[in-house]
Structure 1
Amino acid sequence: MSALLRCGRIHVFCRAMHSELVKLWSLPAFWLTLAGTFGGALLLTLALSSAPPTGPVELDKVLVQPVAYAQAGFVLLGVLAACSEYAGGQIRTTLLAMPQRVSQRLAATAALLLLALVVAALVVGGGVLFGYVLLAEAAGALDAGLLVPSALNAIGYLAVLTVLGAALGTLTRRVLPAAAALLLYLFVLSPLVSGQPVTDTQPDTAGLAPWSLAFLVASIVVVKHRDA
């Protein structure tokens, strides 16, 4: 009986996750953010590739550096995904369909994380391939041992950042405060504290993950106890 119960819960969770994916997929803001982030990353790769690097470390930086600016798009993706629920009271319909609020938030987060991983892979992978083509003459200097770990870390970082944006959006229920607070930290406060410009700040998934988890837990607790 317990096995059947677990299977039933997993089935319900998968259905909820599928519903959340469909909602995210149908958001026009998602497609606009994806197009802007992807296009911006390619343009930045083009700009950074105008001066060919002389070694593998420099080439690694050129191919992954646009991630520093792509952060903005993934912040907006997470915030918009969460705040869209509260536009026009859609959250009430969602809770009627799935009244278990903790499960609903976990399903929504899992769907967003999956989608963010795919988008991040497209953005980072597209930037790497585009940069590699532009830097064909320096291709012999490419060190996959440096590039692959950096690219994978960047993908994970952007996906986790999206979850953090969604958690802040859930807490505030408004796009502007959540997006402004996170962007202010990423592009102003963090570089000031580290003493480096944003282009030199290397994304760190391990450092961001605990903060994202903490804000996610806080958002779930708040959602569980407020009216809607």
Structure 2
Amino acid sequence: MKLLLTSGGITNESIRDALIDLLGKPIAESRALFIPTAQWGHPALSPVTVQKAVAGTPPWHLSSLGWASVGVLELTALPSIGADRWVPWVKEADVLLVDGGEATYLYHWMRESGLADLLPSLPDTVWVGMSAGSMVLTPRIGDDFVSWPSAPDDRALGLVDFSIYPHLDHEDMPNNTLPNAEKWAATINGPSYAIDDQTALKVTDGPVEVITEGHWKAFPA
């Protein structure tokens, strides 16, 4: 897959340009599927926030970019409807827009639904993650970000070899400071990045490219 791993979504022109580059065509010609599943696992989120995310109401910057089409793919529903229905929907999409929330809950349903197993067969599909939607592709999210009571640990999919500390210095998240990010990174036992909502990590076949109009910090292994 082609990955655009963000903290806050498509929040500035630099990140938007990176998205268009990964798509290889205009947003207006691209078909999207929006995945809100991670929100259900986070105690601070609710049906109201899910609705806002699906509608693309700020601060959610994913579904309202002017796509050719946008559908909702709820992972918790997929095991009950059968792969013969939902797999074609995913394969026909140009981009998966994966919302934030609780990353271990999202990881659980990616495995339970079968989406995790399908990802290797989607080399041309773009994955745009927002917060937990980005963190779920990493090896570990760190204990600080586990809020789903049923999570066995902080492990995630490991599709990339680094971890992500999102929402750095966010005005509504006073604990998301650089000193706390440094403490978090020391527990990860692998490379990681702390990124703010104006920063994204672009991953294709080569090294990670940092796309930013904000601030970030890389932590070596």
Does the pair score TM above 0.5? no
> Higher strand proportion, which one?
2
Q: Which has the higher contact order (CA 8 A, sep 6+)?
A: 1
Q: Which structure has the greater CA radius of gyration?
A: 1
Superposition TM-score, scaled by structure 2 size: 0.26
> Higher helix proportion, which one?
1
